[in-house]
A and B are shown apart, each in its own frame.
Chain A
Amino acid sequence: MYLGKVIGRIEARIRLPGLETQRLVLLEPLDFNQQPIRWTILAVDVTGASEGALVVYEEGREAANPFDPPLAVDACIVAIVDDYQYQA
């Protein structure tokens, strides 16, 4: 899993079935010095993270797991970071 920062939300009226109620956010992938490391991605948020929040997110097939039936998503926020310690 990776570190990211929520930098915005997406409003989209027309969505695939199952996505209607999901919260879609813009996520900035970060390294552990909180520097952006690649392009901004769009993720489903099940934790209710607010804008500017540091989060842990998962990218890949596992990101669709929390949903029944599984949704067509490949990035999902799994946790809101309270704090982290990192020493390169």
Chain B
Amino acid sequence: MFIAMVKGTVTATKKHPSMAGARLLIVQPIDAMSGQPNGFPQIAADVLGAAKGMRVLVVSDGRGVQDMLKTDHHCPLRLGIMALIDPPAGGR
């Protein structure tokens, strides 16, 4: 799993049936300690309603996403948002 910042959204009506209940968000992996970007932005499935600018915990394994979406092994997704990370005590 890795920490990422939500940077955008992707809308797609024609998609694999297992994705019906999820939104698609663009997430930029960030370094957990420094918060600096590390790696390329990717697309992750979201059912928690993460908004742009939020930090999230992303799982990068299909089984985790299948459980999250309550779908079966036919689901082709690999990235899913497992948690919304609370902003630092001072808030954003």
Contact = CB atoms under 8 A, between A and B. Distances in A.
A76 B9 CA distance: 20
Nearest to A70: B73
Given A66-B74, A87-B52, A78 B44 contact: no
Interface in B39-84: 40-44, 52, 62, 73-79
A86 B76 contact: no
B14 A86 contact: no
B74 A65 contact: yes
Contacts of B79: 1
Given A32-B8, A65-B62, A84 B16 contact: no
A88 B6 CA distance: 10
B76 A58 contact: yes
A81 B41 contact: no
A84 B41 contact: no
Contact of A58 (B11, B41, B77): B77
B13 interface: yes
Interface of A: 1-3, 31-32, 37, 46-49, 56, 58, 60-63, 65-66, 68, 76, 78-88
9 contacts: A2-B42, A31-B40, A32-B8, A79-B10, A79-B16, A81-B12, A84-B9, A84-B10, A86-B26
